[in-house]
Structure 1
Amino acid sequence: MKIGLLVQRFPYGGAEKYVQEIATRLVQNGDDVTVVTSEQQDVDDSAYMFEIIRLPTVLSIGEYWFWRGLEDILKLKKFDIVHANTYGYYHTDQASRLKEKIGYKLVITSHGFHGTDLYDLKRQKIISKNSSFGFLRSLYDDKIGFKTLLRADHLIALSKRDAELYRKIGVRDEKISVIPPGIRDVFYQKEFDLSLRNKLNGDPLLLSVGELSWIKSQSIQIKALSLILKKKPNAKLFIIGRDRTELVNLKLLCAKLGIEKNVFFLGPIDDQTLYSYMHACDVLIHTSLAEGLSTVLLEAMACGLPFVTTPAGGNGYLSEETGAGVIVPFEDETKLAATIISLIDDKRNLKLLADNGKNMSLQFAWNRIFERIYKIYSDLTSSDSSLVDHS
């Protein structure tokens, strides 16, 4: 098969890692795969075993980047399958608009509904900030976004929550598959740095993983830590992730609260080091305002690291269905701090969450997830596309 995978800013971000895993396995499977993405600085495309085509952005409205040449590439490559990733982006809308004209089957993974979710939180007064063009959200959904989804040949939902939204706009059940993202092999290892916990020298050791941005809301974690320190004076918070917009603001907040010595910004790190941190720490904190389904929660499960999460996207469903984490409200540092303290003090419950996570994580291995995605591709290109498995 000839397969085109479309995604915004490869290789950065959760959707981009999702695409990388699929593309790598397609190559290993002997398929012809191309990743079509935007131009990025300081990226070595020769490090990947698949073709990458980077298109320039000629205009942007917030995160909506208009790429030059996408239609030409889609015509030239003659893909059997185009798999567009992320709802609310130009490349997904364009791939949907052109599918009949060019003649490929279209699969879309929405990776959540970030803009819609943030708009709803703003309306509920849970947050005061919104994306720059949030006022256009309902207009975009009705006039463009939902039509994009309805034209797709198949939709992949990362969680039941996405599937519910697909159905709400009128997508038929047979066009929907609920398939979570996978856990990379490195997180199933048995060996890790046993000495790291002692080197970190804190109690409890709290971990946060994700790009530093207001949508990930690391500021709430820092505010919660200032409350935790009143009862747990040796607590430490390790924040891992590439800075998007917030590093300076977060450091200023730490200084304002007088907790600079208890918060550590480690920047982006390799998977092996992240794996060791997950085994060294006591709790993973994830306070995102909008998600599809957070891969880092799945990776924490494989490492036996209990998590505390907001109900963003499919994260609340994951917590309830696996018993590996605890849900807290959005933007509530008091509740977040109390929940973490309660977990740390209840070693029996902490171990139960860890064991649940490890046991459930096996079903999320990337090889298993890829088989389900590949079956969709195969069925769509077969003579009888009604065979698509939507379980």
Structure 2
Amino acid sequence: MKVLHVLAQLPAQTGSGVYFHNLLNGLKTKGVDNGVIYATQPPFKEILQNDYCYPVHFESNELPFSIVGMSDSMPYQSSIYSQLSDQQTKQWQQAFIKRLIKAKKEFQPDIILTHHLWYLSSLVLDIFPKIPVIGISHGTDIRQARRHPHLKNRYLGNMNRFALIFSLTKDDRDNLINEFNIDANKIKVIGNGFNSSIFNLENSQKLKHSSKKIMYAGKITRSKGVFELLLAFEQVKKKSPQSKLFLIGNGDSTELKELKTIVSSHGIEDIHFLSALPQFELAKWMKQSDIFVLPSYYEGLATVCLEAMACGLRAVVSDLAPLKNYLNNEINQSQWIEYVPLPRIIDQDKAHREDIPEFIANLSQSIILQMDRLQSHQAIDPHIYDLIMEYSWERLIDKQFHYINFLFEEKKDKA
């Protein structure tokens, strides 16, 4: 079976990029031959594979602008769909169409997996009308469609042409039906997963240092709640002076400068900024830390929280319905993860200004609570850890391959 994977962003640099990368590798273990189309730009040089690899180069003569992100704030230099000129949009379309046509001729896929129900997936459906296409929604496509309905109407055709769609959550499934007029029977709630060969308890160093290491990993941007995390950590330091906070990720230079100004003006010590890390390096940091904090105002599924818990970290997470509804209720009630009530949200990912002080207070209290549990040496229940490991990519790939193989066999029967 030959499967073409299509992504308009960098692989392995965002949640959807990690999903793309893990799905590619997981299907290889099932004996699938993969072709890949993805975006790249300097300084990134990763080549996913030697054969049937069709990268689209941004910041080049062909595309003299940055990769266009599904979020308006990306962890690397990016453009914004709603701000593209007509000429840029046409250049973008022509570049991806060129690769799609080349892959169609050379690779001749049996099945296509395309990420995000947005511009590129619509092009895939246009160019491969006789091949089963599976769309993978990461939630950001729903947000783009709601914010920019004129773009959806202009650049998206009939999205019910998909053979199947994988969604992260039940909420996303309902939103896809309403936003894109998709047949409910075509949408399969698959969820997301983590790589258990990377994120696990092996070589964990958490008990070998006296200071308490708190970490955040993700985009460094306001919608992720990192500004509030800094101020919450200021309160945590008063209770636990030996604590250290590590913010791991890339972000807009202006916001990074603003964050560092807050640290300096408030005199908050032991806050460290690190650039985004490959998964192997991120896992090493997790295994040397104690508490993972994700104070985000919006997430598709927050897989990074699963990765952290798989490395044995206690978690403090804003009360994100997609994650909370996805996890087994035993995990939610285990005290291994502590949910912080969200402030009122404006425009899908912005906190109501009046609610921010209470959110900061609740965030700091939850971190301190998890620290107290650490101090009492409460070990993770092996049963809870087994439940966490059920969300690994191995389990997810089995589920996805079942649907992919079904479409492949159905296609052969019709041939």
Q: TM-score by structure 2 length?
A: 0.76
Q: Deviations over 1:331-357 (max 9, x none)?
A: 521221122223323459994877565
Q: Deviations over 1:203-250 (max 9, x none)?
A: 3x2110112233323111111111222322332211112344432222
Q: Out of 26, 48, 69, which is 2:95 matched to?
A: 69
Q: Out of 344, 368, 372, which is 2:371 matched to?
A: 344
- The 3 A distance-change label for structure 1 pair 139 and 320 is farther
- The 3 A distance-change label for structure 1 pair 271 and 99 is closer
Question: Over the residues paired in the alignment, what is the CA RMSD in angstroms?
Answer: 3.3
Q: Out of 114, 139, 152, which is 1:84 matched to?
A: 114
Q: Deviations over 1:69-116 (max 9, x none)?
A: 3233333323222211124x421232234442xx22111111113672
Extract unaligned runs of 5+ from structure 1.
120-133, 387-391
- Residue in structure 2 matched with residue 178 of structure 1 by the alignment: 189
- Offset at 1:364? 1.6
- Offset at 1:384? 7.3
Distance 1:301 1:151 in 2: 38
- Offset at 1:369? 1.0
C-alpha contact 1:149 1:155 (8 A) present in aligned 2 = no
Distance 1:175 1:74 in 2: 24
Q: Deviations over 1:272-294 (max 9, x none)?
A: 44334323333211122332212
Distance 1:17 1:55 in 2: 18
Amino acid at match of 1:256: S
Q: Deviations over 1:20-62 (max 9, x none)?
A: 1111233343333122112321333346466431224547661
C-alpha contact 1:301 1:357 (8 A) present in aligned 2 = no
- Alignment of 1:211 onto 2:219: yes
- Residue in structure 2 matched with residue 9 of structure 1 by the alignment: 9
Q: Deviations over 1:133-153 (max 9, x none)?
A: x5xx244456666x6543322
Listed as ranges, the matches of 1:218-297 within 5 Å are 218-245=226-253, 246-259=255-268, 261-297=269-305
- Residue in structure 2 matched with residue 54 of structure 1 by the alignment: 55
Distance 1:340 1:71 in 2: 48
Distance 1:292 1:10 in 2: 18
Distance 1:51 1:214 in 2: 38
C-alpha contact 2:204 2:311 (8 A) present in aligned 1 = no
Listed as ranges, the matches of 1:1-391 within 5 Å are 1-11=1-11, 12-46=13-47, 48=49, 51-56=52-57, 58=63, 62-63=80-81, 66-78=92-104, 79-87=109-117, 89-100=118-129, 103-113=130-140, 116=143, 134=147, 137-141=148-152, 149-169=159-179, 170-194=181-205, 197-198=208-209, 201-203=210-212, 205-245=213-253, 246-259=255-268, 261-312=269-320, 314-318=322-326, 321=329, 322-323=331-332, 324-328=336-340, 329-330=342-343, 331=351, 332-346=359-373, 351=378, 357-383=384-410
Identity percentage of aligned residues: 20
- The 3 A distance-change label for structure 1 pair 196 and 277 is farther
Distance 1:117 1:63 in 2: 9
SS across alignment from 2:230: helix
- The 3 A distance-change label for structure 1 pair 318 and 347 is farther
SS across alignment from 1:180: coil
SS across alignment from 2:8: coil
Amino acid at match of 1:374: F
Distance 2:380 2:144 in 1: 28
Distance 1:107 1:165 in 2: 17
Distance 1:151 1:139 in 2: 20
